[in-house]
Structure 1
Amino acid sequence: MRKHVLIPTDFSSSAFNAVQYAFELFKNRECTFHIYHAYYIVASSKGNPLFPVPDELEYRTIRQSKNREMDILKENINRLSNNEKHQITYDFEYGFLTDLLKEKVESDSIDMIVMGTRGVTNNKDVAYGRNAINVMEKVRSCPVLAIPRNIKFEALNEIVFPTDFEAKFNLDEMETLRRIAETANASIQFLHIGSENNLDETQQKNKQFLEDYFKSVEFSFHWLQDVALMEGLLLFVKQRKSSMISFVNRKHWFFGTIFTNPLIKNLGVHATVPLLALHGQ
């Protein structure tokens, strides 16, 4: 079955790197890549002060500019790959990024969003740009894979999946994780902060689900004690030189911790490991 991958672009080097990563990750899969740009004009209010609308000349000028930028991007992407398994579409629209991406995911049956972690502002003191965080937080109908700017695709060795085993796993999202591991021939390392001996009945059942569901790929369980979740996760990834972190983002708990945690800056994991955000109920 053909896979549909949506790649938002702001025409930055970070966004272009995400395109390259996605092409390599899915080089053996039949894919349609939807290269997509959303833009918004900060206009002076001439009518509704809550939602100022640009005038016709301003709107036409910016569309012409975006069209030129998209043409340049097409030329650069066409030099990247001639993979017969891949089809590429290009589009740009006026509006707010997350709103348009939600619509695009539904209208084009998108299986995954792949994007860079930082855009044209490229603030070196920020691990993840506002757009990347907003998309991973708010576009919850499909997985989001965020690629750090300096990461070039290499064969994945393993995907680290932190879990507390407390909530039932979403089958669609687990299927995404399994397919990524199968596609990349990578193992999955399930990481739990705590003791295996202290799992309650619900946790044991959910652990057993993972054991049964991921039989087709190599996997193992790891247990860390006397360490905070984020510190344990980041140290684990750094020591093992893992290729990717995947997690289920439930009720915004994850981003409220990791993206404000100084460990991100200290360990530099944000610059070396892609993040695959899955969305539980």
Structure 2
Amino acid sequence: MKKILIATDFSEDAWNAAHYAIEMHKDEDCVFYLLNTYTPTKVSGSFMAEALAGHSLESVIKSNSENGLKKVVGRIQKTLNYPNHSFKTISSFNLLVDEIKKIVNRENIDLIVTGAKGASGLEGVFLGSNTVHIIKCIKNCPVLAIPSHFRFTELSEIAFATDFNRFYTITELQPLLELVKTFKASIHIVHVQYKITELTEIQQFNMNMLCKYMEGIDHNIHTVTELRSVSNTLEAFAEELNIHLLAMLNYRHSLMDNLTKEPIVDRLVFHSNVPLLVLPELGMGASSASKKHSVIHFTD
């Protein structure tokens, strides 16, 4: 039974992320944990009016949170009623990331799902501030970020971005490999370089190990030149190859680590509408015949 945690603020972007996750796992036995966290730091006029009417501010916000979660479950049951799915709701007076950490550890969560739009809703932001915070702070569970308005489509083309500087264990890649096998997808290993150079011996070894893990899976290796920024390059790559999902491993000095440190003006919300799967670093626990290697040069 797969356990999936979906963070929601009751926005349409959050609903879209939940819709995607449910459709993505429609053929699997799953328990979905719907989480809404609240704090009294920002309250609307209606909350204040209810508080002045004799209810404590915290009780008013808690009630709205619980009722909001009930409405989400009702909406799911009307539009996405799969018999192999069950739902649990969690309304918590806590900071989002702190609560996610607790639930992941307590419930042994397999996947965290969140929308990719920032709280500000501004264009030109690669990931929302909450999503970036989740990716940086949650070290023991994959995170799936869904762009606004992107609806689930069968995953036939999946990309995995890497610089080949780190050895990946099969355990770390397991969530990605399971997706690839479930949807019988092709996987595109994409290596972004500022300037195309030959791989070092270590990089070559790590690349060969990746290919070994993917024996029996249709996979290709692409070396691409950087276009203004890593995020911009990956966006162009995803659009060029019609990628349905982009995956990365999150570790110190990784592409994902560098990506979240790029200047905010360079962080894109992925106008190509590609969901992002961030795999956690778990540590230690020959090329196949289908491997092809291409070099792509992007130009401004």
TM-score by length of 2: 0.81
Structure 1 pair 33/263, CA: closer, same or farther in 2 (3 Å)?
A: closer
Q: Which residue of 2 aligns with 1:53?
A: none
1:241 aligned partner, one-letter code: N
Structure 1 pair 243/146, CA: closer, same or farther in 2 (3 Å)?
A: same
Q: Please tell me whether the aligned partners of residues 111 and 143 of structure 1 are also in contact (alpha carbons under 8 angstroms).
A: yes
1:60 aligned partner, one-letter code: S
Distance 1:186 1:13 in 2: 29
Q: Which residue of 1 aligns with 2:211?
A: 211
Q: Secondary structure at the match of 2:264?
A: coil
Q: Which residue of 2 aligns with 1:139?
A: 138
TM-score by length of 1: 0.86
Deviations 1:165-216 (A, max 9, x none): 1111143320011011122222110012359972222112211111111124
Q: Please tell me whether the aligned partners of residues 149 and 271 of structure 1 are also in contact (alpha carbons under 8 angstroms).
A: no
The answer to whether residue 252 in structure 2 is matched with residue 248 in structure 1 is no
Offset at residue 228 of structure 1 (A)? 6.0
How does 1:67-78 map onto structure 2 within 5 Å?
67-78=66-77
**Which stretches of structure 1, 4 residues or longer, exceed 6 Å deviation after superposition?**
none
The answer to whether residue 199 in structure 2 is matched with residue 199 in structure 1 is yes
Structure 1 pair 99/270, CA: closer, same or farther in 2 (3 Å)?
A: farther
Q: Please tell me whether the aligned partners of residues 140 and 279 of structure 1 are also in contact (alpha carbons under 8 angstroms).
A: yes
1:12 aligned partner, one-letter code: S
Offset at residue 277 of structure 1 (A)? 0.9
Q: Which residue of 1 aligns with 2:80?
A: 81
The answer to whether residue 94 in structure 2 is matched with residue 95 in structure 1 is yes
1:11 aligned partner, one-letter code: F
Offset at residue 263 of structure 1 (A)? 6.7
Distance 1:238 1:130 in 2: 24
Structure 1 pair 61/271, CA: closer, same or farther in 2 (3 Å)?
A: farther
Distance 1:24 1:113 in 2: 15
Q: Please tell me whether the aligned partners of residues 162 and 246 of structure 1 are also in contact (alpha carbons under 8 angstroms).
A: yes
Q: Which residue of 2 aligns with 1:8?
A: 7
How does 1:1-281 map onto structure 2 within 5 Å?
2-42=1-41, 57-118=56-117, 121-194=120-193, 198-225=198-225, 230=230, 231-251=232-252, 252-257=257-262, 260-262=264-266, 264=268, 269-270=270-271, 272-280=273-281
For structure 2, the 5+ residue unaligned runs are: 43-54, 284-300
How many percent identity over aligned positions? Answer: 28
Offset at residue 125 of structure 1 (A)? 4.9
For structure 1, the 5+ residue unaligned runs are: 44-55
Q: Which residue of 2 aligns with 1:51?
A: none
Distance 1:131 1:199 in 2: 35
Distance 2:129 2:225 in 1: 33
Deviations 1:93-116 (A, max 9, x none): 111100110110011110110111
**For this pair of structures, how many residues does the alignment match?**
265
